[in-house]
Amino acid sequence: QVQLQESGPGLVKPSETLSLTCTVSGYSISSGYYWGWIRQPPGKGLEWIGSIYHSGSTYYNPSLKSRVTISVDTSKNQFSLKLSSVTAADTAVYYCYMVRGVMIGYYYYYYMDVWGKGTTVTVSS
């Protein structure tokens, strides 16, 4: 059974860089699939941050692209999120996820299938 666990500081100062790690158990990242991050500000909806393929190809939310870096460390079976120049608007619960896919007919469909429990990050001085 695949499990994901987020870790990282719960408090980050404005203008600094938020860094989170997602540790994967029950599956080897290097075997495939996409991995990524979403966030949820207090009382608000889900915002997709970005994804990374096991090979290292990355895909980011255009509104965050200039500040986001997602990377993979296959030796540790982890992937990470860095968000630079944070402000109070970046305060949120951050979730890591695994994307799986299925072939239906001639097409491959992807969906977020496994999630971490989430970690709260507050941006404040």
Partner 1 sequence: DIQMTQSPSSLSASVGDRVTITCRASQSISSYLNWYQQKPGKAPKLLIYAASSLQSGVPSRFSGSGSGTDFTLTISSLQPEDFATYYCQQSYSTAYSFGQGTKLEIK
Contacts with partner 1 by CB under 8 A lie at 38, 45-48, 51, 59-62, 95, 99, 102, 104, 107, 109-113, 115-118
In angstroms, give the least distance from the CB of 10 to partner 1. Answer: 16
In angstroms, give the least distance from the CB of 60 to partner 1. Answer: 7
Shorter beta-carbon distance to partner 1: residue 57 or 125: 57
- CB-based contact 56:35 (threshold 8 Å): no
Residue 32 vs residues 49, 54, 55, 56: alpha-carbon distances, Å:
20, 5, 8, 11
In angstroms, give the least distance from the CB of 66 to partner 1. Answer: 14
For 38, other C-beta atoms within 10 Å of its C-beta total: 20
Shorter beta-carbon distance to partner 1: residue 8 or 16: 8
Shorter beta-carbon distance to partner 1: residue 10 or 62: 62
- CB-based contact 59:68 (threshold 8 Å): no
For 28, other C-beta atoms within 10 Å of its C-beta total: 11
β 11-12/119-123 pair status? parallel
Shorter beta-carbon distance to partner 1: residue 15 or 63: 63
